[in-house]
Structure 1
Amino acid sequence: MSTNITFHTGSVSAEERPALLSQKGVTVWFTGLSASGKSTVACALEQHLLHLHKFTYRLDGDNIRFGLNKDLGFDDKSRNENIRRIGEVSKLFADACCIALTAFISPFRADRAVARELHEKAGLAFVEVYIDAPLAVVEARDPKGLYKKARSGEIKDFTGISSPYEAPESPEIHIKTDECDVAEAVKRITEYLTEKKFI
């Protein structure tokens, strides 16, 4: 761990950036089982926000593992580090007044709490969105065939099958994708962001 470093704050004040960009930074953290609809809803929300001329960017589990986190596996320690890094990156995006959308299983409450705390200590907003669907529903969807492989033992430490998923206890937004379509999910999240004056 580096000790001879100093954080450089730059010359842009905390008030100047949001005033110039006409929006506040916030991380919208999607969590839920694989195939629950996290990425689908996050993609649709990103499109909607861009059409509203909002500065937004989506960080997705698969895409991040092709680059920033390609050195990590799927054991518990690697998953902790995966979410820690994403928490740090999304915090930087939010600090830049971006609406950062993160779509990760992020199975452990403690890891999500660390990501939230990173934001709160920096005076940045963190909105947890629980994309909820029953195990039977996500297994029936299984677009990548991952549940089938997990059931057959081809994939070890698979969330929901051989590794636990700890559902949020009090998320800001709770969306059940077996009862709610993508358009309605985007509408609900947009209404929340509008109500809280993020957009």
Structure 2
Amino acid sequence: MKLNPDIVPFDPIITQQDRHVMNAHKSGLVWFSGLSGSGKSTLAHQVEAKLYQKGVRSYVLDGDNVRSGLNADLSLSPEGRKENVRRIAEVAKLMVDAGILVFAAFIAPYEESRRFVRELMADWPYFECYVKCSLEVCEQRDPKGLYRRARQGEIKNMTGIQAPFEEPQHPNLVVETDQCELNSCVDQVIDFLNRQRLIILR
């Protein structure tokens, strides 16, 4: 997107590195992508809770929460989904600059949108976590009743039913929530963050 030439970003006094030193950990964005019901939000919030106990400053950007405010004007059409991801990516980038470890839990069904996020975060720590779970198990869980309503025709453009989910081809981490218990999934994510040196937990 081309910036208005009259807009000149201000150079900050306090840098991202300054905040890393203050926090004693790095910031970054981990994007949890997967079908509805795969456990993205549950996993992200459980990771956040465990890191909070260790003094790590993190925050979860959750799909439904954001669509209740910032993105309340967006539909579930392909265009609306892409704009949803774009806005979230820009917000997450600001939060990463603020020194926070950000977890974005969004379906992000299109590779084009996920590629946009990767390119936007090219100069920042960014990792894609594919929360892998079969459609069958997601439908069995169906915590919000969305799949049932989609099968009955009450919901249109439901990802995995009427709309596609383009499976991530090269994620940084794959967590199979239909194969592992929640605690094991949380440990996988935290171990990954340790290996990436975003956090250092003993």
TM-score exceeds 0.5: yes
SS in 1 for 2:121: helix
Query: What SS does the corresponding residue of 1:15 show, helix, strand or coil?
Result: helix
Aligned to 1:41: 43
The CA RMSD measured in Å over matched residues stands at 1.1
Give the aligned partner of residue 146 of structure 1.
Answer: 146
Report how far residue 9 of structure 1 moved: 2.3
Match of 2:102 in 1: 100
The count of corresponding residues between Structure 1 and Structure 2 is 197
- How far residue 109 of structure 1 moved from its aligned partner, in angstroms, is 0.9
> Structure 1: how far apart are the matches of 2:3 and 2:119?
22
In structure 2, the residue corresponding to 1:163 is in which secondary structure? coil
Equivalent position to 2:63, from 61, 64, 86? 61
Taking structure 2 as the reference length, the TM-score comes to: 0.94
Structure 2 match to 1:128: 128
What is the CA-CA distance between 1:10 and the residue it aligns to?
A: 1.4
Q: Structure 1 unaligned runs (5+)?
A: none
Letter aligned with residue 113 of structure 2: D
User: Which amino acid is the alignment partner of residue 86 of structure 2?
Assistant: R
Q: Which residue of 2 aligns with 1:160?
A: 160
Rounded to whole Å, the distance in 2 between the matches of 1:63 and 1:13 is 29
Instruction: Verify the 8 A CA contact 2:16 2:98 in the aligned structure 1.
Output: no
Q: Secondary structure of 1:58's match? A: strand
- Residue aligning to 1:111: 113
- Tell whether the 8 Å contact from 2:150 to 2:156 is kept in structure 1 after alignment: yes
Q: TM-score w.r.t. structure 1 length? A: 0.96
* Identical counterparts, % of pairs: 41
Secondary structure at 2:169 match in 1: coil
- 1:197 is the counterpart of 2:200: no
Give how far 1:50 is off. Answer: 0.5
- 1:73 maps to 2:63: no
The alpha-carbon deviation at position 14 of structure 1 amounts to 4.0
State the alpha-carbon separation in 1 of the partners of residues 197 and 114 from structure 2.
23
- What is the Cα deviation at residue 141 of structure 1? 0.7
The Cα of 1:16 is off from its aligned counterpart by 1.9
